[in-house]
A and B are shown apart, each in its own frame.
Chain A
């Protein structure tokens, strides 16, 4: 199984500042034949199910604000929230869909400082 490790477990960021979340996979999730990283990011607000933010490591889902961006390749990925807003308080998860079983990171809780 591919193990997904997120860091930090939590972070507090001032409104308008940048939040950076890291995700590391135990093996590469890059598909050479399709030239894609099979990595998604989800946002979960309290009392709600997760919501898809980014797929293929850097493609924003329709309707997701441009302040959310994903980067990285192979085994190391980053979710960046530029200019943090109050509504961005949530837990963020990465997930690989390169191999079965699909696996998720442990989550990173983002709070306002």
Chain B
């Protein structure tokens, strides 16, 4: 079955960076875009951006432009999201999600278990 397994919880200080990994199994990793969505208590679910594993092309929500970088290692079916210049408002659970398919199939049919990132001095 399709699985997205994320790395463990992180605690970071303001101004630091965090890199979360997402290992995919049960399907051909290259064939499906990976998106990242975060969930905070106050702001609910927020879309961070997307990455195409074949081309490496990415797109980010404006709130994350210049601070987030999505990459991948196709040899181990793993996607990564790095977020820099962390601030307390970035405290959230970060999910990697699989886009259901190409074209109009731009909803999310599988979600990772989530990675809690806590930003605190």
Establish whether residues B104 and A38, one from each chain, have CB atoms under 8 Å apart when the complex forms. yes
Establish whether residues B44 and A50, one from each chain, have CB atoms under 8 Å apart when the complex forms. no
Establish whether residues B100 and A55, one from each chain, have CB atoms under 8 Å apart when the complex forms. yes
Establish whether residues A95 and B111, one from each chain, have CB atoms under 8 Å apart when the complex forms. no
Collect the chain A residues with CB atoms within 8 Å of residue B100's CB. Answer: 52, 55
In the bound complex, how far is the Cα of B95 from the Cα of A95, in angstroms?
A: 15
In the bound complex, how far is the Cα of B107 from the Cα of A102, in angstroms?
A: 9
Collect the chain B residues with CB atoms within 8 Å of residue A100's CB. Answer: 59, 61
In the bound complex, how far is the Cα of B104 from the Cα of A93, in angstroms?
A: 20
Establish whether residues A40 and B107, one from each chain, have CB atoms under 8 Å apart when the complex forms. yes
Interface check A46, CB cutoff 8 A: no
In the bound complex, how far is the Cα of B13 from the Cα of A101, in angstroms?
A: 28
Q: Which residue of A lies closest to B47 (CB)?
A: A102
Interface check B27, CB cutoff 8 A: no
Collect the chain A residues with CB atoms within 8 Å of residue B104's CB. Answer: 31, 34, 36, 38
Establish whether residues B47 and A50, one from each chain, have CB atoms under 8 Å apart when the complex forms. no
Query: How many residues does chain A have at the interface if contact means C-beta atoms less than 8 Å apart?
Result: 23
For window 37-83 of chain A, which residues contact chain B by CB distance below 8 Å? 38, 40, 42, 49-52, 55, 61
Q: A100-B59, A101-B61, A101-B62 are in contact. Are A52 and B45 (CB under 8 A)?
A: no
Q: Mark B83-121, 1 if CB is under 8 A from A, else 0.
A: 000000000000100001000111111111110000000
Establish whether residues B47 and A103, one from each chain, have CB atoms under 8 Å apart when the complex forms. yes
In the bound complex, how far is the Cα of B36 from the Cα of A53, in angstroms?
A: 19
Collect the chain B residues with CB atoms within 8 Å of residue A55's CB. Answer: 100, 105, 107
Establish whether residues B44 and A107, one from each chain, have CB atoms under 8 Å apart when the complex forms. yes
Collect the chain A residues with CB atoms within 8 Å of residue B35's CB. Answer: 102
Collect the chain B residues with CB atoms within 8 Å of residue A61's CB. Answer: 109
In the bound complex, how far is the Cα of B63 from the Cα of A40, in angstroms?
A: 23
List B residues at the A interface (Cβ < 8 Å): 35, 44-47, 59, 61-62, 95, 100, 104-114
Assuming A36-B104, A52-B108, A101-B62, what are 7 further A-B pairs, CB within 8 angstroms?
A42-B108, A49-B95, A49-B114, A55-B107, A95-B108, A97-B107, A100-B59
